[in-house]
């Protein structure tokens, strides 16, 4: 009798203690799963939105102009003067660096896509966007995020945003997406340890879940803040080390975000032809140097250089030859400026050279060597040898007004053009106003009106 009663009491006590713990463990796991999934969806939404807007900006920067469809039987999509119908390298670059799929629709039809038709093995182009997306994006002009839209027979986290021409007309849709299966797999892989350990050690794992989820939330917060900084244009933002050293999916996401930042920074701040800093990056770096001059009195100077008779090279040999000259000259600029500051492509055949920790007389010596190096440069376009010279305007960094400094250097450049090109024009009372290179080393230059290059 007692034995049976004791057994029943023990059983009830076990039930009373174990069942609530099992329920608590189950609820804890469910809550953790829900929190993790919702947070992940929010981060994915922010990531997709940021990448979509970045793609739009890079499309406009790489292919200026409006979207327009040409052809009758075989359609070709143009953006400005560029045929982008088969610009797969552009979308594949984003896929490679972010792991996200990108599709460009003209009206409701896929033109460019990283997606492939599983039945044929070909790119999924020529198919239509979902009807709901057409109504929300094409007709209403809304940017929309979906958590389970069916794309190419698979569910995706998807962000759709309208493509507009300069007059505001909606002409298409841009899609950036990530397969639900990838996200679900990441969620499950992260939660399996919780479920297994909770089944064996309910009380211990309940405490562990609380601590670990706080850590996960902290990592997600760091990733969110990092992506938010990038979305605001801060491409020098740093992700907390506690995220990047992780060896789980969060660490993978963090490292992917850092890799994406590096790729975007290269695409946004680097001139694609020459590999030099572009104007945006040059402005930022110049402001940093000016700030050091203002706060610490560190000397600097700037120069504007221009390839002489560059227009004549394009007109005579073609733009491919002109691109070759730009690349070769840029390599020389990078080589000579590596230890003294930086070089940037300022526009066309003009370059900005910024000397840090240098006085104007010191910069002049470096520029003399650079001029000789450019003049000795042999550029072969086919069997044709093309030689060029440069004219450079140099000025000391004696003010924090960067516009005034650039204007002064540009005026010196103009004076150099007016005085015959192939020279350095600079200003400092203790040295001659201009240094003219040996005319015998210039070579045959084609006469042309000053500045007409």
- pLDDT attached to residue 74: 66
CATH topology of domain 64-182: Beta-Lactamase (3.30.450)
Condensed to tens digits (0 to 9), the pLDDT of residues 386-415 reads 999 999 999 999 888 989 999 999 999 999
Cα 194 to Cα 168: distance, rounded to the nearest angstrom: 50
Matching residue, tokens 């500051």: 341
E-strand ranges in 285-376 read 300-307, 341-347, 350-356
Positions annotated as catalytic residues are 349
- pLDDT attached to residue 203: 59
Q: Kind of pairing, strands 101-106 and 109-113?
A: antiparallel
What is the pTM (predicted TM-score) of this model?
0.43
Q: Kind of pairing, strands 390-396 and 423-425?
A: parallel
- pLDDT attached to residue 199: 65
Cα 366 to Cα 372: distance, rounded to the nearest angstrom: 10
- pLDDT attached to residue 17: 55
Matching residue, tokens 């506690």: 242
Cα 404 to Cα 302: distance, rounded to the nearest angstrom: 11
204: three-class secondary structure by DSSP: helix
Q: In the chain, how long is the greatest CA-to-CA distance?
A: 121
Where the chain has pLDDT below 50, the residues are 1-14, 205-211, 429-453
The pair of three-digit structure tokens given for residue 67, joined into one six-digit string: 């979207």
Q: In what order do the strands lie in the sheet containing 76-79? A: 67-70, 76-79, 82-83
Cα 190 to Cα 251: distance, rounded to the nearest angstrom: 12
Condensed to tens digits (0 to 9), the pLDDT of residues 17-57 reads 556 666 776 777 777 777 777 888 888 889 899 989 998 99
- pLDDT attached to residue 216: 63
Residue boundaries of the structural domains of the chain: 18-38+183-269, 64-182, 279-441
- pLDDT attached to residue 213: 52
Conformational region of residue 395, where left means phi above 0, alpha means psi within -120 to 50, and beta covers everything else: beta
Q: How many CB atoms within 10 Å of residue 124? A: 18
**Which numeric CATH code is attached to 279-441?**
3.30.70.270
- pLDDT attached to residue 349: 92
Answer for the pair 425, 413: CB distance below 8 angstroms, yes or no.
Answer: yes
Beta-carbon contacts of residue 316 (< 8 Å; ≥ 6 apart): 446
The pair of three-digit structure tokens given for residue 254, joined into one six-digit string: 């963090």
Rg (the chain; Cα; Å): 31
Cα 88 to Cα 83: distance, rounded to the nearest angstrom: 12
Helix (H) or strand (E) holding 181, with range, is helix 180-200
């Amino acid at each position: 009798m007692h034995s049976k009663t004791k057994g029943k009491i023990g059983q009830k006590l076990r039930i009373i203690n174990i069942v609530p713990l099992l329920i608590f463990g189950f609820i804890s796991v469910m809550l953790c799963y829900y929190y993790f999934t919702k947070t992940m969806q929010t981060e994915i939404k922010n990531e997709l939105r940021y990448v979509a807007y970045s793609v739009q900006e890079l499309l406009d920067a790489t292919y200026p102009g409006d979207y327009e469809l040409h052809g009758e039987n075989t359609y070709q999509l143009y953006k400005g003067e560029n045929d982008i119908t088969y610009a797969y390298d552009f979308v594949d670059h984003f896929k490679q660096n972010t792991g996200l799929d990108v599709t460009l629709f003209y009206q409701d039809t896929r033109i460019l896509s990283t997606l492939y038709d599983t039945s044929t093995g070909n790119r999924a182009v020529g198919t239509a966007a979902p009807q709901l997306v057409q109504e929300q994006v094409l007709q209403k002009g809304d940017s929309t995020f979906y958590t389970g839209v069916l794309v190419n027979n698979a569910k995706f986290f998807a962000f759709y945003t309208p493509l507009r021409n300069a007059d505001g007309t909606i002409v298409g849709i841009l899609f950036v997406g990530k397969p639900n299966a990838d996200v679900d797999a990441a969620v499950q892989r992260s939660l399996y340890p919780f479920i297994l350990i909770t089944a064996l050690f309910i009380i211990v794992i309940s405490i562990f879940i609380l601590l670990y989820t706080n850590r996960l939330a902290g990592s997600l917060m760091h990733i969110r803040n990092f992506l938010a900084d990038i979305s605001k244009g801060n491409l020098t933002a740093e992700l907390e080390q506690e995220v990047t050293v992780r060896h789980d999916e969060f660490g993978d996401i963090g490292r992917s975000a850092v890799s994406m930042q590096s790729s975007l920074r290269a695409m946004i701040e680097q001139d694609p032809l020459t590999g030099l800093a572009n104007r945006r990056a040059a402005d930022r770096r110049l402001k940093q140097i000016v700030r050091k001059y203002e706060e610490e009195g560190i000397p600097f100077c700037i120069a504007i250089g221009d390839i002489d008779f560059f227009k004549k090279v394009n007109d005579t040999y073609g733009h491919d030859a002109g691109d070759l000259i730009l690349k070769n000259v840029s390599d020389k600029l990078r080589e000579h400026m590596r230890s003294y500051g930086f070089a940037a492509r300022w526009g066309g055949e003009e370059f900005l050279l910024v000397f840090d920790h240098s006085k104007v007389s010191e910069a002049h010596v470096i520029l003399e060597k650079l001029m000789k190096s450019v003049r000795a440069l042999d550029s072969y376009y086919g069997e044709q040898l093309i030689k060029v010279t440069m004219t450079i305007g140099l000025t000391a960094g004696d003010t924090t007004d960067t516009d005034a400094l650039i204007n002064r250097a540009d005026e010196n450049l103009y004076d150099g053009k007016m005085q015959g090109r192939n020279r350095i024009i600079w200003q400092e009372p203790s040295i001659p106003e201009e240094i003219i290179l040996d005319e015998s080393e210039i070579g045959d230059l084609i006469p042309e009106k000053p500045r007409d290059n």
